[in-house]
Amino acid sequence: MGPSKGKSEFIGLVLFLAGVALVLTNGFSSRIFAQEPKSQVFEKIEPIGDVLSEILGNYVYDPDMDKVVEGALQGIMNSLDRNSSFIPAEGFQDMREETEGAFDGIGVRITLDEDGNVVIVQPIPGAPASKAGLRAGDIIAEIDGVSAHGITTLEASNRIKGPRGQTVAIAVMRKKADSEQYERIDVEVKRGIIPLESVVEARILGGGVGYVRISDFKKNTSKDLRERLDDFQKQGMTALILDLRWNPGGLLSASREVSELFLPKGTLVTSTKGRESAEGEYKDNMRLKTERNPDMPETMPLLLLVSNTSASSSEIVTGALQFHKRALVIGEKTYGKGSVQTIIPLRRPEGSALRLTTALYYTPGDVTIDGKGILPDIEVPMDVETQANLRRQLYESEAACEDCINKQNHGGVTGNPEAEGLVHDTVLAKAVEIIREDTVFQNLLQKYHRDIKETQVAATEEEQKKKQAESGAADAASN
């Protein structure tokens, strides 16, 4: 790298980071500068320039400036709170696909086995992969003639995805029937529009008890849930269990849309409140109310299952239904993510964005549960290891066949026979037990519903700080 090039990149980078600092303080600048002069703010970011100068002048290799910029932006955002982040262009595109509920691909869910092989967990019914004959359990050997062994699920996903209408060559190794030997199968799959399902299980458990499990909250979640409820009611559903365990959240708008399937029109679901301005007003103030009549009779029993990883939008739904006495909540205290993130697209780096915490949300009782979580009406604890084993059992039973998506193995409560290592879903079993106690929902509410002052309590400052140090994990990839 020549001296002039290094100097110009250095100056450009410092100016860019200074601009980012101004973007992050935009809207809050009057509050910041009321505390200290503007010059002091710029003095505090001068060490960034010092570090970059040392890198450009003394680092043994020519630094990749794109990576340097990305790393600096990630550091800035990570210093704010656990939910704010810098989103690179590739990640921003994936995030948009997730929330929109569709993407261009072939329609397979993949994971890695213990030997580092990319394995198809589940072809999405009706998607191109399924129509081409790919099956659960197939090991992807090659993608467009290049070996897939030893690559990550993200790398495999990026190779498989592509513009709709184009084809991708997939070679899989499949175990022969009644044999331990594998055979190679080559297929050409034409990419198409693949829907991303958030309703991952929907069934009637017996006795007219409907059961629906939602993995997250996307643009299409309420529509998909409404279709399942309509179908259940045609089958004579008498009660519903809505499972939000392990649900990390998603779109704020989707939480309102799901809530209004059960709550009267005009009911408050949540409110948000941003940072207080110098004038004593709050940014991003919003009150989300239901905008349509419910799809399910208000007298029909509704039980909501939650876990210690139910977060964000799933907590908004839980808080609203519990507060308005529309559902009994069963399980464990929820995660406690009561903050709202705004996605801010950036002009540079091109295609990237900021995920910035801009507000806290409040339950209808005007309580923010950020860092605290919501307590269930009926506590049914399940330790981390048992939850992991149960999720693995559900996952494996779903992957057993294309028709098994709505017949996942919850143990005895779903009629699965005793077997070695079988995990019984005690939370779901408790919900079914309660529903069968009394057909009158008001009687169940009177018996089990806890005072909101006990279940929805604001976090202390210490509890909020503790949450700031925690981080989450990602699930398997879809393609």
Q: What is the CATH number of the domain that holds 188?
A: 2.30.42.10
Which pLDDT score, from 0 to 100, does residue 29 have? 43
- Is 108 a domain residue? yes
- Is 220 a domain residue? yes
186 and 203, same domain (yes or no): no
- Is 272 a domain residue? yes
Tell me the pLDDT tens digit for each residue of 445-457. Answer: 999 999 999 999 9
153 and 268, same domain (yes or no): no
147 and 28, same domain (yes or no): no
Which pLDDT score, from 0 to 100, does residue 137 have? 82
Last residue of a domain, one of 138, 168, 195: 195
**pLDDT means over runs of 10, the chain (479 residues):** 50 53 44 54 81 88 88 88 85 69 79 84 80 88 93 86 91 86 94 85 95 93 96 97 94 94 97 75 80 96 96 96 98 94 88 89 93 96 92 83 84 94 97 96 98 92 64 39
CATH number assigned to the domain comprising residue 367: 3.90.226.10
- Is 47 a domain residue? yes
Q: Domain range for residue 123?
A: 102-195
- Is 303 a domain residue? yes
For every residue of the chain, which 3-state class applies, written as one string?
A: CCHHHHHHHHHHHHHHHHHHHHHHHCCCHHHHHHHCCHHHHHHHCHHHHHHHHHHHHHCCCCCCHHHHHHHHHHHHHHCCCCCCEEECHHHHHHHHHHHHCEEEECCEEEEECCCCCEEEEEECCCCHHHHCCCCCCCEEEEECCEECCCCCHHHHHHHHCCCCCCEEEEEEEEECCCCCCEEEEEEEEECEEEECCCEEEEEECCCCEEEEEECCECCCHHHHHHHHHHHHHHCCCCEEEEECCCCCCECHHHHHHHHCCCCCCCCEEEEEEECECCCCCECCCEEEECCCCCCCCCCCCEEEEECCCCCCHHHHHHHHHHHCCCCEEEECCCCCCCEEEEEEECCCCCCCEEEEEEEEEECCCCCCCCCCCECCCEECCCCHHHHHHHHHHHHHHHHCCHHHCCCCCCHHHHCCCCCCCCCCCHHHHHHHHHHCCCCCHHHHHHHHCCCHHHHECCCCHHHHHHHHCCCCCCCCEEC
Structural domain count, the chain: 3
247 and 131, same domain (yes or no): no
Q: What pTM, to 2 d.p., does this model score? A: 0.77
